[in-house]
Amino acid sequence: MADKAILQVGDKKIELPIIEGVDGSKAIDISQLLAQTGLTSYDPSLGNTAICKSAITYIDGDKGILRYRGIPIEQFTAQPKPNFVEAAWLLIFGRLPNKAELAEFRQQLIDNELLHEGIKDQFQHIPADAPPMAILSATMNNLACFHKQFLEVEKPEGLVAAAARLISKVRTIAAFSYRRSRGLPFIYPDPGLRYCANFLHMMFSLPYKQYIVTPEIEDALNMIFILHADHEQNCSTSAVRVVGSARANLFASCAAGVSALWGPLHGGANVEVINMLERIYQGGISPEQCIRDAKDKNNSFRLFGFGHRVYRNFDPRAKILKESCDRVLAKMHRQDPLLDIARRLEELALSDPYFVERKLYPNVDFYSGILLRAIGIPTNMFTVCFAIGRLPGWIAQWKEQHDDTSSKILRPRQVYIGAQVTDYVPMEQR
């Protein structure tokens, strides 16, 4: 294929360079289009636009491939496998850490797990029924008030320290928001516990009774966090990049990621999936009706946990989660009727021309809620758990953009369709 594309506008022909990814995928570089032709490009949901070059995560949506820094996602879930902290380091710093690097990072996570008491006190003033994603986003932003030394991180040590603070504290913020919603006393982190076990301890221990984390549960949560850790230029990551491109600090940029993730078409879909399965279980609707509603163009309902902008094949994370649901529930000696319903919905959808023709397959959110339920995580904390998992990815993407000296502020164009020049009409004449 030529390394240039020719675009003809009227009589004028211009050459546009074609750039190539390491997998051979090609993109037309239109960065000089406006300067050369006076034209912008129109791609309203950016479905056809690469906003950056990135070396963090690779996805082949047609083949259902996902790799972190080149390592297939399946290798993060089969023995011997890294844990979430190791995966986070890999994503942020671009290679697997050695023993000393990992030990040092772990120590930084331990040293930073407490929240400033000033932040802790703020939880008392939040209504008990406040959405945990609102608390997470606000408190993450608020960290900038208490750790002002990280408003600018020009040196690599500064980035490591800021990343460790965020990755460590996000668990504490999440657990405290849950405790607040239940009117339960806050449980301080335990430095003797590993990352996931410590989060579960802060969520579920009582002052007089330590929550005992079983290996199955710790393992399942590790896997869930790893599977959510990055997914290249999705909605929340793009939000982080847009905010970060203005040179906004890491805390503010990641708080924007939390806000975007909250939406039901993105990370919030894991809550919608469980609500949908519950409605089917309680008899509100049947799986068949659910599929009919999802296909009905006069109905705004969508089959949550199905479809993806990039995957036109099985989301490999959904495959892993589906298999894990069986394994983990069996190990815990639990059954969940919602899992049977999910399987039935998947079976119906995958044999229905509507879903087949549109290449709509289960995505990461379809089975993750069932596992989170098995771990004991309440539904309103599902998207918060997604955010804890995604945080290393946001940090990695923010760092990649920040380190790229050629990166500019992200500022799209528009095609204006509003009123032409119009005179102001004084109030008394209207």
Q: What residues line the site for ligand ACO (CB under 6 A)?
A: 234, 265-267, 269, 294, 302-309, 358, 360, 363-365
Of the pair 133, 164, the CB lying nearest ligand ACO is at: 133
The answer to whether the CB of 17 falls within 8 A of the CB of 3 is: yes
Tokens linked to 298: 């006069």
CB of 302 to ligand ACO, least distance (A): 4
DSSP state of 266: T
Tokens linked to 399: 């760092």
Instruction: Single out the residue of 252, 245, 246 nearest to residue 145, CA to CA.
Output: 252
CB of 72 to ligand ACO, least distance (A): 19
Of the pair 42, 208, the CB lying nearest ligand ACO is at: 42
Residue 269 CA to residue 272 CA, distance in Å, equals 5
The answer to whether the CB of 55 falls within 8 A of the CB of 399 is: no
The answer to whether the CB of 311 falls within 8 A of the CB of 360 is: no
Residue 203 CA to residue 349 CA, distance in Å, equals 36
365 is catalytic: yes
CB of 268 to ligand ACO, least distance (A): 8
CB of 45 to ligand ACO, least distance (A): 6
The catalytic position among 365, 402, 403, 404 is: 365
The catalytic position among 201, 231, 308, 402 is: 308
Cβ-in-10-Å burial (0-12, 13-18, 19+) of 429 comes to exposed
CB of 425 to ligand ACO, least distance (A): 40
Of the pair 336, 352, the CB lying nearest ligand ACO is at: 352
The answer to whether the CB of 229 falls within 8 A of the CB of 390 is: yes
Of the pair 305, 392, the CB lying nearest ligand ACO is at: 305
Of the pair 86, 365, the CB lying nearest ligand ACO is at: 365
CB of 197 to ligand ACO, least distance (A): 25
Going from the C-alpha of 226 to that of each of 81, 368, 400, the distances in angstroms are 11, 12, 20
CA atoms within 13 A on the CB side of 134: 8
Instruction: State CA 238 to chain mean position distance.
Output: 10
Of the pair 57, 112, the CB lying nearest ligand ACO is at: 57
CB of 362 to ligand ACO, least distance (A): 9
CB neighbours (10 Å) of residue 197? 20
Of the pair 116, 292, the CB lying nearest ligand ACO is at: 292
**DSSP codes of every residue in 389-419:** HHHHHHHHHHHHHHH-TT-----------S-
Residue sitting closest to ligand ACO (CB)? 307
Residue 250 CA to residue 165 CA, distance in Å, equals 11
Length of the chain: 430
- For residues 363, 75, 383 and 285, what is the CA-based torsion angle, rounded to 10 degrees? 30
Residue 376 CA to residue 332 CA, distance in Å, equals 12
308 is catalytic: yes
Catalytic residue IDs:
308, 365
